[in-house]
Amino acid sequence: MSNIIRTCIGCRTKLAQNTLYRFICKDKNIFSYKGEGRSFYICKSCVLDEKNISKSAKRLCKNNKDYVDDIKKILKQKGA
């Protein structure tokens, strides 16, 4: 089975899908991906770079909200 490659929204680095965190933006809020809808990926190093995540998430969700806390809360709930 081949490794599926995806791109991190923060740094635009291409990595194996299983090394990235996957999220979905729905109704201008960010949620953990549950298997439905268009999703995006964030690498582990970009999770630490709050400015990079915030800018990219604002662009994807078409909103000026700061999503850093939401993303970190989701990752904490997942135990990541």
Give the integer Cα–Cα distance in Å for 33 and 11: 20
Largest CA distance in the chain: 40
pTM here is 0.83
Q: How many domains does the chain have?
A: 1
How is residue 28 written in tokens? Answer: 């201008």
Domain that holds residue 43: 5-78
User: For tokens 């960010």, what's the residue?
Assistant: 30
pLDDT (tens digit per residue) in 16-73: 999 999 999 988 888 999 888 889 999 988 888 777 788 888 888 888 888 888 888 8
Q: CATH code at 16?
A: 3.30.1230
